Chain A
Amino acid sequence: MVDVQLSDAEKTYIIHGAQDNLREDGRGCEDYRHLEIETSVVSTTSGSAKIRLANTEILVGVKVELGETSPENPDKGRIEFFVDCSANATPEFEGRGGEDLANEISNMLARAYDCPSCLDMRKLCVVEGKKCWIVYVDVLLLECGGSLFDASSIAVKAALYNTSIPRLTVTHDEGHTELELSDDPYDVQRLDVYNSPCIVTLSKIGHSHVVDASQKEEACCLARLMLAVTDKGCVTAMKKEGSGSFDVSSIEDMLETGKKVGQSLNKSLMEVLVSEDRNMKKKYMTGYLR
């Protein structure tokens, strides 16, 4: 993980603050930092989003491609995650330095979305047993400022919401299936991401737990719990990380908090996305260096 060096006194200060529900930057334990989202940032993708959470900056691009259905799930499409830790984010990522972290994030995302209620994969099926859409989600870490899992999942959800899949008409003709592409670029299929999860990371600091830990807070934390929470408060994936251990009761506490925070996070995210989509037409391109 990306670390900062802290002295014991600094650590104590942070731990005590968390106990009193007052963190070093003035937040409460269940508050996220300021979050900025922008969608449709990369025009060559099927859908994209950029998110900035304090210093954490993540770009997600979604590409859909036609592929063969898998034999286990002939009526479903697939979603695949790939995380790239850019060496721009931190020098430690140079070479293969970011690989472990990238795998961790992509595995977590894959597990979080591996739930029938999250995303209806049957809608991605084009011809049963033959053709389906494969959704490739590419996550690019541009800058690290803590809460990489949370920020990634939010960006992924935003990018999936922004994804448009070309509309295909399937015609059957004497055993041949013919796919026809609509020539109207606006005639597209959108993904229903209403139930897609967001990851909430709860970091145990002293006896209390905080969400959206900053890098300094992460340095004080021995164990954290990551929960993928949907809009309805359903937890689709859970992961524990760190050298420390949890007490059962504290896990229950953290689950409660996670669900609560996750639900409100999902809700406000959807609101923002819907309103941005509505205002999309007014947006004018100004070139890459906007």
Chain B
Amino acid sequence: MLTNKVFLKKTKKGSILKIVREHYLRDDISCGSSVCELCQHDDKGPVLEEKLTNLSQKVDQSHYIIPDTNVVLHQIDVLEDLSIQNVIILQTVIEEVRHRSAPAYKRLKDILTNPTKHFYNFANEFNKETYVEREPGEKSNDRNDRAIREAAYWYQQHLKKLESEIDIVLLTNDADNRTKAKEKGLTSFTIHEYVKGLKDNGTLLDKLAHVGTGLVHEKDKVQFPEHLPLNEILRGIKSGKYLQGSFIASRENYLEANVSVKSEDRWIFIQGHMNLNRAVNDDTVAIEMLPEEEWSCPSSLMLEETEEKTDDADIEAEDAKLKQNKVPKDLRQPTGRVVGIIKRNWRQYCGILQQSAIKEATRHLFLPAEKRIPKIRIETRQAKDLSTQRIVVAIDSWPRNSRYPHGHFVRKLGNVGDKDTENEVLLLEHDVPHSNFSEAVLNFLPKMPWTITDEDMKHRTDLRHITVCSVDPPGCTDIDDALHCRPLANGNLEVGVHIADVSHFIRPGNALDKEASNRGTTVYLVDKRIDMVPELLSSNLCSLRCDVDRFAFTVIWEMTHEAEIVNTKFMKSVIESRASLTYGEAQMIIDDPTRNDDIATSLRGLNKLAKILKQKRIDKGALTLASPEIRFNIDSETHDPIDVQAKQLLDTNSMVEEFMLLANISTAQKIHEEFPNCAVLRRHPSPPPSNFDPLIKAALSKGFTMNVSTGKDLADSLNSAVIENDKYFNTMLRIMTTRCMMQAVYFCSGMIPEAEYLHYGLASEIYTHFTSPIRRYSDILVHRLLAVCIGADASYPELLDKHKTQLVCNNLNYRHKMAQYAGRSSVNLHTHLFFKKRVVDEDGYILFVRKNAVQVLIPKYGLEATLYLNTDQRKKGPLFVFNEEENTQTCGGISLHVFDRVIIQISIDRSNVQHLKLQIKLVQPQIPEFSVAPTEDDKSTDDEPPTKKQKLDI
């Protein structure tokens, strides 16, 4: 049977379209129940079981559940619980969920595909019996509710016809819907009633979201301004009264945030509870500009919300306190306030439960691991159990009268302090896809044992006779690159860089490719690696290990002894590496005069050329920047860090780096020449001059003038800024310079003008990533482009579509950034673990001076920590006075400047057992009533936290 779906649509241009879709109704749609003999089930058989287990005390019969849209949207966590089974999800519900929340839709789809859950998707909109037409005067929501009731009724009658004992339970929190359902003779409850009636409901009750239900007390007064309705917001945005942007909360101060305005590419500052108005990090919000006299600027306060404040704690008073600080005119930034939320971007948050004063209380506060997220109020009956756990919580709502958003418990991850749990937390928090590779992905792996066929050899050059070796950090199993260098008959040198040919194994468009493209990069944590491609490829077939034949993508240059390139050749090849060396081993071979074999001469040749290349690059204005990199020595049994040290740099590190840079630049030139519109390149924009202000100011305090007008000037200024007796000063400056830089990003060459291709840090006009295809997806794309250039591989449409390529690049940039953050968090985590058993005095340098704190860099551990000055606990003694002009903090006659060397004591703050924080105290210079006495050497504290069972012998 045919019917039409008619609806009107207003286009962006303002014209109105009438859209008609043909809608065919069928009479052969299966009910999906095992009881049923009338319906024809599909090949996989009926989904819903005949014998049912989830009996609720609410219903005495066994039953199937039909939830309505709102139940699915808000209570997806409950539905995901394993105990909820045999649920019928109507098509009406799926479609509404898809419209309203993409994440909920995805999760619903996942449940539906899980065979153990027995969730059945019933296509009621296509069933002749259950299709309902919208009636005149009926709202679309009412029509959908009616469709749901109609389908539930059909099921009830259908099961009755089968003389089955099974009933249908309609779950809806809409009272009106329930009444109407009961009039029809249906059994209907709210989800809350239903879950409470379940026999074993312990954790399920906690997972219930309370949306607009009685969690709010009347005595709570309304504190926040109301959000504007969406249509008013959209109108305001159109007329320019409001601005739309994404809300980025500050990490440092919970009362501050920035909104990046979509249309204008600028940042609007927001300050204070009232102005933030319940926006959560990542939300898309509408803001209104404040009048100029109310503009403000970020206070240099580092503000952390520590104490639990009750809901009635007056947020207005807190805001008023902020206002007292008059902001001088020249510092003012454009400031606005949030008037409405366009789209919430709430996800699930990891964190811990904040210990409540009352033991038996069910309402608790949840402390998210991410500092930008506010605390979340949740209701749980298992607080005692959860107090030592990392848990995941979702936000449900943020009513006007509540200081904190309301949420519900989703699941627990494991014990606090447990390394696996903590790793899981940081992967989740950084949105790193870390599940195991699916069957579909693994199916695209080559079958083992893998051999090279004649077919493979057709397009490849056999380079197995050349002495090639790889140089990598110790313990590296995914070897991307190998090198060789040999003299040519004409006196020149031949240098080859061989990169693992990953694109041979990952063919465009298949599941393996999609997964790799989504992951974007391999993520390195201190003790774990989350691979971008399955291990068979990353550590075996692609990895250029020694003494096996491997496919490679090779760049061969002919160079003079002055490192001038005579010509460049690209080819797909087969190589056999003679040795997999570590940086240390390679260095030893170079330095060992007794060795004169092929490997040694090759390495020495490379080393010599690399030094010339580096000098050339520096002369061009490439920056040598510093960021403290550290490595942990990890106990082999407990996997706890036992020592931390800064990474050492050898000549060979820079040797490999030089040739990789060269290969990348050569490739970038080649692919850009062939594909000016769709080459994947990497650029590093030159930072706006204002970014350098803190650096210039800091250097000036030591009497150095920094010239930042070009990269070359900056490099020269950095080189000349040396203090004889303070050898760390220069490194500090370089670290500060790093902070001034912009992020380097991938992009598609057709999307921006050629003048912007510049890579500032490397002082190269063009750059890309070619050399690490095992761990970066961008390199795979570059490989494919290059393969097409040299005719070694076929092209495909997506490769040449600049918009699609740009989309991929955007994802890569995001993943890349997140991977960096995750890596840093992992280092932090291990630093915490390391200091858990120690109190150490260490040298530090002041990096920044803030209004209420100084940030100290501890070079030995590559650690940056905040030393709070005028804390509340500090009752006695003179207070620090902040001098904004000179950027100093003075107390008791002693001033703290930027770059000052201090001695600090590092320990773990155990005041909150759950939430261990790294804490530093000042040892030297000695400031009365502030500094602490130095610790005796190597004194490790014995009070291990209770969760730790094993003891380490250090």
Contacts and interface: CB of A to CB of B under 8 A. Distances in A.
B100 to A, nearest CB: 15
Contacts of B14: 66, 179
Given A166-B8, A181-B8, A183-B140, A287 B2 contact: yes
Interface in A206-251: none
Interface residues of B, number: 26
B18 A66 contact: no
Contact of A43 (B10, B20, B235, B241): B20
B231 interface: yes
A65 B16 contact: yes
Nearest to B137: A186
Interface in B222-246: 231, 235, 238-239, 241
Contact of B18 (A46, A178, A186): A46
A65 B140 CA distance: 24
B44 interface: no
A285 B4 contact: yes
Contact of B8 (A43, A185, A285): A185
Contacts of A286: 2
Interface string A3-28: 00000000000000000000000000
Nearest to A165: B16
B136 interface: yes
Nearest to A180: B231
B6 interface: yes
A238 B231 CA distance: 51
Contacts of B10: 179, 181
Nearest to A181: B10
A173 B20 contact: no
Nearest to B239: A176
B321 interface: no
A45 B6 CA distance: 11
B181 to A, nearest CB: 24
Which residue, A46, A180, A185, has most C-beta atoms of chain B within 10 A? A185
A184 B141 CA distance: 11
A170 to B, nearest CB: 13
A176 B6 contact: no
A173 B238 CA distance: 11
Contacts of A46: 18
Nearest to B5: A185
Contacts of A65: 15-16
A285 B238 contact: no
Contacts of B6: 43, 185
Interface in A170-199: 171, 173-174, 176, 178-181, 183-187
B234 to A, nearest CB: 9
A166 B137 contact: no
B2 A176 contact: no
A65 B11 CA distance: 12
Given A66-B15, A181-B10, A186 B134 contact: yes
Contacts of B140: 183-184
Which residue, A45, A176, A184, A286, has most C-beta atoms of chain B within 10 A? A184
B231 A185 contact: no
A186 B10 CA distance: 16
Nearest to A173: B235
Nearest to A179: B14
B4 A184 contact: no
A44 interface: yes
Interface string A138-172: 00000000000000000000000000001000010
Interface string A260-290: 0000000000000000000000001111000
B3 interface: yes
A173 B237 CA distance: 12
A181 B16 CA distance: 8
B137 A285 contact: no
B951 interface: no
Interface in B1-50: 1-4, 6-10, 14-16, 18, 20
A173 B16 contact: no
B953 to A, nearest CB: 72
A65 to B, nearest CB: 6
Given A166-B16, A176-B239, A43 B4 contact: yes
Given A181-B8, A186-B138, A284-B1, 17 more contacts: A44-B18, A66-B16, A166-B16, A176-B238, A176-B239, A180-B231, A181-B16, A183-B139, A184-B140, A185-B6, A185-B7, A185-B134, A285-B2, A285-B3, A285-B4, A286-B2, A287-B2
11 contacts: A44-B18, A46-B18, A166-B16, A179-B10, A179-B14, A180-B231, A185-B7, A185-B8, A285-B2, A286-B2, A287-B2
Interface of A: 43-46, 65-66, 166, 171, 173-174, 176, 178-181, 183-187, 284-287
Pick the 9 closest A-B CB pairs, nearest first: A186-B136, A181-B10, A43-B20, A44-B20, A285-B2, A287-B2, A166-B8, A176-B239, A43-B4
